[in-house]
Chain A
């Protein structure tokens, strides 16, 4: 059981890393892009904007957490 847990933990750390919100935000933005494309909008611009915001918010969380500790 502990080996399965360690295996899962390795892949979680490998793919998701320290901030799961970034990964979730990327997936949601891609789903929205696919939805817009399906509706006839070439939404290439959506993901770059979301990624810039996600990175900024993730950095902000680290700085705030460090200040509070």
Chain B
């Protein structure tokens, strides 16, 4: 696979996770206490680094065929989840993922929680909220980096993609100090779901012992084929009237965000 395709795939996938983590940290910092939110973020990053350092190298010991089968299956199932939600949102059958709404919800919950600190942490709630958000989303980033990097024998490029995504999202987030509502997350999820599904298909079939016609170049056909399939389902579902409460945004306005 071209290094640029690997870089862009990892960057997009990790950017989605970074947006979600940043929304939680911003809510904890704005609603409660910035110092504790930052402490929670740093603690989560340290815990994440320790987890990846402990478990990451073990992946290299597994035979490539078995690794491709397991990782490909996981990516495929994971990608289909994203693609399914993206298709439902794009066709108006599910509300668009609203980062502004998620931010407001987290903020209200943070403000309503009881105050209190432990040791060096002034506000335990802000600390744990940030820790949880960064650790869980970071785990997904680590999963994407390790699987893509190991399978393509190019871990440095995968790491670079993830670092670039986190750096860009963090810089943008702290510059505007608001949830990244303007970022078309649903479009990104559609693209990422397509990429994960295509790569999952490729690796899991290879892991099962079959061989794609054209070997690695089959990916060049698989990615657009998966995208075309998903867009086809969007077009089909738009013909079906969506239930009123699930469609706060008219299908017409969604068109520009997914196309």
Residues of A within 8 A of B (CB): 10, 14-19, 22-23, 26-27, 30, 33-34, 36-38, 42-44, 47-48, 51-52, 54-56, 58-59, 62-63, 66-67, 69
Contact = CB atoms under 8 A, between A and B. Distances in A.
Contacts, number: 90
B84 A59 contact: yes
A65 B205 CA distance: 32
Given A19-B84, A37-B209, A67-B243, A52 B229 contact: yes
Interface of B: 69, 73-74, 76-78, 80-81, 83-84, 87-88, 93-94, 136, 140, 197, 201, 204-205, 207-213, 222, 225, 229-230, 233, 237, 240, 242-243, 246
A33 B208 CA distance: 6
Contact of A55 (B80, B210, B211, B240): B80
A8 to B, nearest CB: 15
A51 B84 CA distance: 12
Between B74, B204, B210, B246, the greatest number of chain A beta carbons within 10 A of the residue's beta carbon is seen for: B210
A55 B78 CA distance: 12
